[in-house]
Chain A
């Protein structure tokens, strides 16, 4: 099972086994990782599952779909490496993915 590492804004590291097919957001919510709210439940409608993907991983992820960049306009402190974690689907290729959680979601 792929391991996904979530790093909180306080630098706490949580490494979780996440099933293939789940999203990075679901991995966080199901394991009570603090800082990912996912208010809309994965509908790409709220920007409260915003994460920063570490540089070395960012380009390896499948590209953003149209609506994701629009939603990121509303995220809290978006950066170049911002993604919505509900749009990143876990697969074996993502084993070892590291994401940083912003200090707030809004």
Chain B
């Protein structure tokens, strides 16, 4: 069991700055995120899109903002637990006991949910029967490419993941690439490579087609695809791969006994605490009268939630407000003074 003063759920900009604030006031913290990288929506949804409304930063991309926030955390030792989703939050006598899907357990007086709009999950095929084959013959990511060797694979999607895997798997498998339109949004070099492989007969390309059904008894046997003009085709396949990007799901957060408002968590505006003592929500996932879904609001919310954590983490100490320009103790924590 990992003991910490505060556990942050979500490594997006709000979670990162909240960690900064916690460490600055002398609390320790750990961060859990379902994604395999730091940055949240900034890195997953718009790494290359410029943002213009971060105070004192006239222009930066989602990726640059993330890099700068990580840099700002350099003086501190913060443990990240990536590719882990928090499944359960329960109270023991004093602390919150938080469990992840990988079996990690945290014990902490403070849980700060900086979860954006929930955790990112792969988007799935609309075809209901796909569920029966999921993780057996229908996949949304590739763990072990060896299973596809010598087999027939149908790859759906038009972005880099779909194209990269079509190119890669075409070396040892029979690849059908299926996309809803003629244009691909992947890197041009990869698109060219795919078209070359189509010409060589290494990839069968079906554009303007989408899946309508999957067939098979236990084992996947074939899929039906249909184009915009209602023309149907049946393709014999062993495996199906779908790459439709990620979608945000509130997921297990819905079961933690918090007051929810649509997909957001209600908080007060003093501590950004939820209806459960010691559980806070900051950033896009929290709601209160006047809430603005801006990154700068998340920074403010995290700073206040961090101060609220102090009381529960250090019940016998008094929190003192200090400035980084003048406070010796803060400068020591920042590594600027011995």
Contacts and interface: CB of A to CB of B under 8 A. Distances in A.
Interface string B310-336: 000000000000000000000000000
A74 B293 contact: no
B245 A74 contact: yes
Interface in A50-106: 69-70, 73-74, 76-80, 104-106
Counting chain B CB atoms within 10 Å of each CB, the highest count among A69, A70, A80 belongs to A70
Contacts of B45: 40, 43, 45-46
Contacts of B247: 39, 46, 48, 74, 105-106
A59 to B, nearest CB: 16
A37 interface: yes
Interface in B34-55: 41, 45-46, 49
A80 B245 CA distance: 20
A55 B230 CA distance: 17
Given A40-B45, A74-B247, 17 more contacts: A37-B263, A40-B41, A40-B117, A43-B45, A45-B41, A45-B49, A46-B45, A69-B181, A73-B180, A74-B123, A77-B210, A78-B180, A78-B210, A79-B228, A80-B228, A104-B126, A106-B124
A39 to B, nearest CB: 5
Contact of A73 (B41, B49, B157, B263): B157
Contacts of B117: 39-40
Given A37-B263, A45-B46, A73 B293 contact: no
Contacts of A77: 126, 210
A70 B185 contact: yes
B129 interface: no
A55 B134 CA distance: 35
A21 interface: no
B76 interface: no
B168 interface: no
A39 B46 CA distance: 14
Given A80-B228, A104-B126, A39 B244 contact: no
A102 B157 CA distance: 20
Interface of B: 41, 45-46, 49, 117, 123-124, 126, 157-159, 179-181, 183, 185, 210, 228, 244-245, 247-248, 263, 284, 293
B126 A76 contact: yes
Contacts of B210: 77-78
Interface residues of A, number: 21
A73 B244 contact: yes
10 contacts: A45-B46, A46-B248, A70-B185, A73-B158, A73-B159, A73-B179, A73-B180, A73-B185, A74-B247, A80-B228
Counting chain A CB atoms within 10 Å of each CB, the highest count among B41, B49, B158, B180 belongs to B180
Nearest to A82: B180
4 closest Cβ pairs, A-B complex: A106-B247, A70-B185, A74-B245, A45-B45
Contacts of B49: 43, 45
B129 to A, nearest CB: 15
A69 B181 CA distance: 9
Interface in A1-39: 37, 39
A35 B322 CA distance: 47
B162 to A, nearest CB: 9
Contacts of A74: 123, 244-245, 247
A105 to B, nearest CB: 8
Nearest to A105: B247
Contacts of A39: 117, 247-248, 263
A105 B248 CA distance: 11
Contacts of A40: 41, 45, 117
B34 to A, nearest CB: 15
Nearest to B245: A74
A70 B248 CA distance: 18
Contacts of B263: 37, 39
Nearest to A103: B126
Contacts of B244: 73-74
Contacts of A47: 245
A45 B49 CA distance: 10
